[in-house]
Structure 1
Amino acid sequence: MDKGNQTIISEFFLLGISSQPEQQLILFWLFLCVYFVIVIGNMLIMLAIGLDARLHSPMYFFLANLSFVDICFSSVTIPKTLVNHVMRSNSISYVQCMMQMYFFITFSNMDGFLLVVMAYDRYMAICRPLHYTTVMRPALCILLVAICSVITNLHDLLHTLFTAQLSYCADNIISHFFCDPYAVRKLSCSDTYMSDLMVFTVGGAVFATPFVCIAVSYVFIFSNVMKIPSTQGIQKSLSTCGSHLTVVSLFYGSIMGIYLRPSSSFSAADTVASVIFTVVTPMLNPFIYSLRNQHMKIALRKLILPKVILQMP
């Protein structure tokens, strides 16, 4: 078998979520509806933040960026799944697969790093309220997002280049509904030991660092909240973190369910976790942040029903 770096196959075949035709039709309409909810919901969040001057603060700036990334993240996998169903074809070209894998890693990592800066914002607001306005200036917020983008793109480029240099010979069937990085690497007929070591070391650091930073931030937040004398003050402080913690739990819970669970093959549990990670979480984020945030609910009402709001006392 060829062990060189030349790619022999020109396309992969995605097994998808289900092989049953009736289930595929249901999943097609379900994914289509969910995708519209993701795009429309996150766009409404972005528009509400952009048009309401009261939401021009660091917390909502990061939330708008998270909504934009969620739209891009879901657009990496869902449209291709829908197109494959319409075209009755499960194939994806080698180039498309590498591109899908690159952008999948990009936006998933960007999600994690944005959750970090949002945790830092909550830390400053609750633990250092007197320094919040002087520290969390617009220039710093833009810089934090830019740094997150540079780090994620460098990591994604490294991961994709290492994967693209591998040989893919006879086996080109991916047991997934998109080009999952780890599922693709399992198909290689090259010696992947050193490549896997590099990819998993860097990838583990990129995954663990945001998670640890979020955990440390909330340790400080909860330790400071417990010092607040009034119960009302504690509830108010925790309510500002509730939405963020819910999104963090969904995001990292699904990732751990997929990539930190030992498994030799793609199973039904992996499918469920992947759908939660790539489809459900981007869909729920707008609802989580809007339903738990009074200012966001008001801004959305003004955006969607401006005349009704103007008539309200």
Structure 2
Amino acid sequence: MEELIPQFLEVQNKSSINNVFVVGLRIHQSYRLVFFSLFTVTYAVTLTCNLLIILLVFFSKLSHSPMYVLLSNLSLAEILVTTTTVPPMLHILIRNGTYFSLIGCFTQFCLFGVFLVTESFLLSAMSYDRYLAICKPLHYTLIMGPRLCFCLILVCWAMSTLLLSICFSFVASLNFCRDDIIDHLYCDIIPILKLSCSDVSTVEIIMYFFSSASTMFPLLVIISTYGFIIRAIARISSSKGKEKAFSTCSSHLGVVSTYYITTILVYVVPSGHSVIMNKVLSLLYTVVTPLMNPFIYTLRNQEINAAIRQTLSSITRS
């Protein structure tokens, strides 16, 4: 992200806005305390569960499986997504809105975008891994070795950083001199563009193209791979074999569903949501989804459950 520093300075020089006021949730003081407590507990559980998955993968036999190495990277991306948004959100909530520097606001938007897009790419990489495991089981270990797994992870993180750098370069070309109020839970691209006194129509088209590409292209990969997977499962003669093959994909499908439904509604479907609806949807994919995903994987995955039991057993014996 170092190449973005000059652009951050350029934004500051071209803007008559030095600080922005992020509104957060417009609710009564007593309700704010309730939401603050709820979000704090949710954030703590999310960090703990995702961190446990990362540690479990790398300190057990699961570290030899590309699927779980990819899963640990997904957990890392979710930790970063929530850490980028939830702590500032808690600060905004307890103070009933607060000021952030324009540079800080841009930094949050950029980092949040990188981590969110990385999740999308990682989910598509995981679907490719499941495709190889089910459709080409005899060649799986030969194709999906540590080298390819590492390359997929590297491409996911690098592509998301590149895409967000390009997006930011267009946003950095705008002048910001309107209202310094962002009526949202954090600094996101749509409310940021409303601060600009430049013509943002071209930038909006470019941002829509990049958000659609970074969301829909991985989704098309996932749909395509699962088309082949479903066809391969249908050819399995025994019902037990079909159930076992599908069980390896069910957790991934659950995470894909929760991620893409909210992301598409916010960033791909043409904006027509109310401010309240945008805030609710934002809470879903920044607070709720990262909390649900570890439970989806642990509750429906026999290998992770076995690794948890083995780890707990070794701890109790020692």
TM-score, normalised with respect to structure 2: 0.91
Q: Give the structure 1 partner of residue 198 of structure 2.
A: 190
Give the deviation of 1:50 after TM superposition: 0.9
More displaced stretch, 165-174 vs 284-293? 165-174
CA 19–91 in structure 1, closer or farther in 2 if over 3 Å, else same? farther
1:232 corresponds to 2:240: yes
Q: Give the structure 1 partner of residue 279 of structure 2.
A: 271
Give the deviation of 1:54 after TM superposition: 4.3
Matches of 1:81 and 1:16, distance apart in 2: 7
1:202 corresponds to 2:215: no
Q: Does the aligned pair in 2 maintain the 1:102–1:156 contact within 8 Å?
A: yes
TM-score, normalised with respect to structure 1: 0.92
1:11 corresponds to 2:16: no
Matches of 1:6 and 1:143, distance apart in 2: 39
Structure 2 counterpart of 1:146, one-letter code: L
More displaced stretch, 114-123 vs 142-151? 142-151
Matches of 1:266 and 1:99, distance apart in 2: 25
Matches of 2:110 and 2:98, distance apart in 1: 20
Q: Does the aligned pair in 2 maintain the 1:257–1:270 contact within 8 Å?
A: no
Instruction: Look up the SS of the partner of 1:92 in the other structure.
Output: strand
Q: Give the structure 1 partner of residue 115 of structure 2.
A: 107
CA 89–197 in structure 1, closer or farther in 2 if over 3 Å, else same? closer
Q: Give the structure 2 partner of residue 53 of structure 1.
A: 61
CA 306–265 in structure 1, closer or farther in 2 if over 3 Å, else same? same
CA 171–266 in structure 1, closer or farther in 2 if over 3 Å, else same? farther
Give the deviation of 1:38 after TM superposition: 1.0
Structure 2: which 5+ runs fail to align? 1-12
Choose between structure 1 and 2 for higher RCO, CA contacts under 8 A separated by at least 6 residues.
Answer: 1
Q: Give the structure 1 partner of residue 131 of structure 2.
A: 123
1:179 corresponds to 2:180: no
Q: Give the structure 1 partner of residue 252 of structure 2.
A: 244
Matches of 2:277 and 2:71, distance apart in 1: 30
Q: How many residues align?
A: 306
Structure 1 counterpart of 2:191, one-letter code: A
Q: Give the structure 2 partner of residue 72 of structure 1.
A: 80
Give the deviation of 1:231 after TM superposition: 0.7
Q: Does the aligned pair in 2 maintain the 1:121–1:136 contact within 8 Å?
A: yes
Q: Give the structure 2 partner of residue 222 of structure 1.
A: 230
Structure 1: which 5+ runs fail to align? none
Matches of 2:241 and 2:134, distance apart in 1: 11
More displaced stretch, 184-193 vs 241-250? 184-193
Give the deviation of 1:264 after TM superposition: 4.5
Q: Does the aligned pair in 2 maintain the 1:247–1:285 contact within 8 Å?
A: yes
Matches of 1:260 and 1:195, distance apart in 2: 15
Matches of 1:179 and 1:29, distance apart in 2: 22
Pick aligned residue for 1:154 from 157, 162, 168? 162
Pick aligned residue for 2:175 from 162, 167, 174? 167
